[in-house]
Amino acid sequence: MASISLVAASALGKSSLKENAFMGVSLSNHSTMSEFDSVCARRTKRNRVAGGVRAQATAVMTPSETKFTESSKKTLRKGNVIITGASSGLGLATAKSLAESGKWNVIMACRDFLKTEKAAQSVGMSKENYTIMHLDLASLDSVRQFVETFRRSNLPLDVLVCNAAIYMPNAKTPTFTADGFEMGVGVNHLGHFLLSRLLVEDMVKSDYPSKRLVIVGSITGNTNTLAGNIPPKANLGDLRGLAGGMTGQNGSSMIDGGEFWGAKAYKDSKICNMLTMQEFHRRYHEDTGITFSSLYPGCIATTGLFREHIPLFRTLFPPFQKYITKGYVSETEAGNRLAQVVADPSLTKSGVYWSWNKTAASFENQLSQEASDVDKARKVWDLSEKLVGLA
């Protein structure tokens, strides 16, 4: 994984506004359950300390170094990493990058088995480095089924990457998941929320020296950037729509309770992804040593994410990003970036939203006010728990 280790994690920098111009442009499992239970008990106690010191901190501003050093535990086995949405784009490129290193067994968690198998073969992934398991994030039953299937494999879980997403910028009316949630937030946030909440338990049991849970974010959910200021802007409001389940039946299908807007639903879901990562960090990092991170991989203008956009946009967006904004990143490069967040020994800081500057060096980026709002993160967590049946 030479390309991964090349990038110095400590390098600091600021990505330019131009670089950030982006979418929205109108054109061996060894511990026991009791270990997990006691982690939860300690966590709950600490959370009761409430609005205390930890709750006041802004996680991304003050991420803590993991106490569990790389050298404190050693294992020679391959790491097991689950990547959702590994059938195309960023997920596939990351799967390829990790598989090629020979150090990872990639569990490709995807809704279309055949498509994923063909995709893995098309990028030359060798069979001994990957497994495909069915996961449809638009169904909570499917998420629970996936977790059961994974557990039956008896593989330890070392890293989980929540990467899959859908983006429906031109949808005039909402569509809904099997459980009745607006599709964008249902897939991108709620499906991943249930998945990661269930699987963090498995990660606690793993003996792997550097366990990580990565939730892919986006610049478009951050209103402290140029791209994040292109309408419609992300805004979760007072969460009244999320509280109502976003069913569109007796209320709104949008988190903020407003009118449906597909592009905004995507951006809102990305704020939820970044808030969830930070809430995980606050609730679990200290007790479990798991590193929680998010990232903006760059503008990968060629991926299937833009499949629902009008053809003219899909034609012009890649050259626009390549030659005008210069924010374009190839799928291979973006995959190497996400692979760093999964595996690079220098990216073990928890609670960080990673970005890359013009010299391709990673740096800890700042999230917008809303995307780092501690109170909102807790509320999104609590409401999401109810919606996915965990509370």
Ligand X SMILES: NC(=O)c1ccc[n+]([C@@H]2O[C@H](COP(=O)([O-])OP(=O)(O)OC[C@H]3O[C@@H](n4cnc5c(N)ncnc54)[C@H](OP(=O)(O)O)[C@@H]3O)[C@@H](O)[C@H]2O)c1
Q: Which residue is nearest to ligand X (CB)?
A: 89
Residues in touch with ligand X (CB under 6 A): 84-85, 87-91, 110-112, 115, 135-138, 163-166, 187, 216, 218, 296-297, 299-301, 303-305
Q: Closer to ligand X by CB, 299 or 347: give it.
A: 299
Shortest Å distance, C-beta 263 to ligand X: 12
**Residue 177: which residues within 8 A CB-CB, separation 6 or more?**
138, 139, 140, 183, 186, 187, 190, 191
Shortest Å distance, C-beta 42 to ligand X: 31
Q: Cβ(60)–Cβ(366) under 8 Å?
A: yes
Tell me the DSSP string of 14-81: ---HHHH--S-------S-HHHHHHHHHHHHHHHHTTTTHHHHS-TTTSPPPPSS-GGGS---SPEEE
Q: Cβ(119)–Cβ(92) under 8 Å?
A: yes
Shortest Å distance, C-beta 137 to ligand X: 4
Shortest Å distance, C-beta 264 to ligand X: 14
Shortest Å distance, C-beta 241 to ligand X: 20
Tell me the DSSP string of 230-257: SSSPP--TT-HHHHTTS-SSSS-SSTTS
Bridge-based pairing of strands 130-134 and 159-162 is unpaired
Q: What's phi and psi for 81, nearest 5 deg?
A: -125, 130
SS3 367: coil
Is residue 239 left, alpha or beta, with left meaning phi > 0 and alpha meaning psi from -120 to 50? Answer: left
Angle 113-122/89-100 helices, nearest 10 degrees?
A: 50
What CA–CA distance (Å, rounded) separates 200 from 385?
14
Catalytic residue among 167, 266, 328, 353: 266
Q: Closer to ligand X by CB, 85 or 209: give it.
A: 85
Residue 167 annotated to the active site: no
Q: Closer to ligand X by CB, 112 or 333: give it.
A: 112
CA distances (Å), origin 362, targets 4, 213, 336, 340, 359: 11, 18, 11, 9, 9
Q: Closer to ligand X by CB, 180 or 251: give it.
A: 180
Q: Closer to ligand X by CB, 228 or 289: give it.
A: 228
Q: Closer to ligand X by CB, 39 or 270: give it.
A: 270
Q: How many CB atoms lie within 10 A of CB 343?
A: 23
- Show the CA angle centred on residue 337, arms to residues 334 and 343, nearest 5°: 140
Shortest Å distance, C-beta 297 to ligand X: 6
What CA–CA distance (Å, rounded) separates 340 from 100?
13
Shortest Å distance, C-beta 389 to ligand X: 18
The catalytic residue positions are 266
